[in-house]
Amino acid sequence: MKRTALPLSLPLSLLCLAALTACSGGGEDGKEAADKPKASASASQAKQAGPAERVAQLLVTKAEAGDYRVDKPAEGDALAPSKDDMNVDKADCAPLAYAMNELPIGDPEASLVRVAHGTEGAMLTYITLATYAEGKAEAAMKGLTAAAGACGGGYTAKSSAGAATTYDSVTVETAPAGGDESLATAATFQYQGVTQTLRTQSFRFGDAIASYFSLDSGRLLQGGPGQAEIPADLVKAQNAKLG
């Protein structure tokens, strides 16, 4: 599918936004689980599998996602393909930069990314699902929480390829109930002089973390102010696989 080229200053290349459909792509740092059909599994059942297989089993299926399509993002959708390819001007803000660019926070054993979009509108929601060794998930959430508290004045993330996004502000919001820990943020950036608001929500369930990142791609392309919202029913469906 032909993609529409957009300026590198955007936080994402916004996968196939001209058609508002998802394309196929790859994973992060080679850690993504194989994209094979998996039977639905509870968190306890998935613990019997290896890290890559387990994270695939914990991912919400298309049947469970209701009105949302869930696909692999197209290669190149994120600002940077891996953490090694991303530089942040304020080191403390790196976990936020990862959460807003389809990258897992902390040091996971395995991770994968999917993008969900509904039958109406142009709200894109990226789900980054990761599993961790003992204690590493708590450490990852601690780092993300610290970043959200320290980076209210914004930061700039750059890729090794030269793309960059400057976030003007980061605000901690009230996170929905769920998991052992949760965190929600809203961040703003300017595109053609218009403010766009992005949102993230992250939930820790034991040694697994689900992070959601939403972008109002329709408003962005139309030149209007974007106000992203993370779909509560999609979060409920994915979190149910973890809790």
Q: Does residue 218 fall inside a structural domain?
A: yes
Supply the mean pLDDT for the chain.
83
Q: Does residue 60 fall inside a structural domain?
A: yes
Q: What is the pTM of this model?
A: 0.82
Q: Does residue 21 fall inside a structural domain?
A: no
Note the pLDDT of residue 48. Answer: 67
CB neighbour burial string for 125-138, b if at least 16 within 10 angstroms, e if fewer? bbbbbbbbeeebbb
Q: Does residue 11 fall inside a structural domain?
A: no
Residue in 196, 234, 235 with CA at minimum distance from that of residue 14: 196
Residue in 79, 74, 60, 67 with CA at minimum distance from that of residue 21: 74
Give the number of other CB atoms < 10 A from CB of residue 145. Answer: 17
Among 4-8, 192-196, 203-207, 220-224, name the one with the lowest average pLDDT. 4-8
Judged against a pLDDT cut of 50, whether residue 88 lies above it is answered with yes
Stated length of the chain: 243
How many domains does the chain divide into?
1
Cβ–Cβ < 8 Å for 6, 13: yes
What is the rounded average pLDDT of the residues 206-225?
A: 92
**121 φ, ψ to 5°?**
80, -175
Q: Does residue 52 fall inside a structural domain?
A: yes
Identity (one letter) of the amino acid at 39? A
Note the pLDDT of residue 158. Answer: 95
What is the rounded average pLDDT of the residues 102-109?
A: 96
DSSP calls for 84-133: GGEEESSGGGHHHHHHTTT--SS--SEEEEEEEE-SSS-EEEEEEEEE-S
- The residue whose two tokens read 């019997």 is 48
- Domain of 59, CATH number, reads 3.40.1000.70
Q: Does residue 227 fall inside a structural domain?
A: yes
**94 φ, ψ to 5°?**
-55, -45
Higher per-residue confidence, 93 vs 26: 93
Cβ–Cβ < 8 Å for 64, 40: yes
Q: Does residue 30 fall inside a structural domain?
A: no
Residue in 62, 52, 8 with CA at minimum distance from that of residue 30: 52
Residue in 193, 24, 240, 178 with CA at minimum distance from that of residue 113: 24
pLDDT digits (tens, 9 = 90+) for 195-204: 999 999 999 9
Cβ–Cβ < 8 Å for 111, 59: no
> How many whole angstroms separate alpha carbon 128 and alpha carbon 108?
11
Domain extent, residue 118, equals: 43-242
Among 44-48, 105-109, 139-143, 169-173, name the one with the lowest average pLDDT. 44-48
Q: Does residue 35 fall inside a structural domain?
A: no
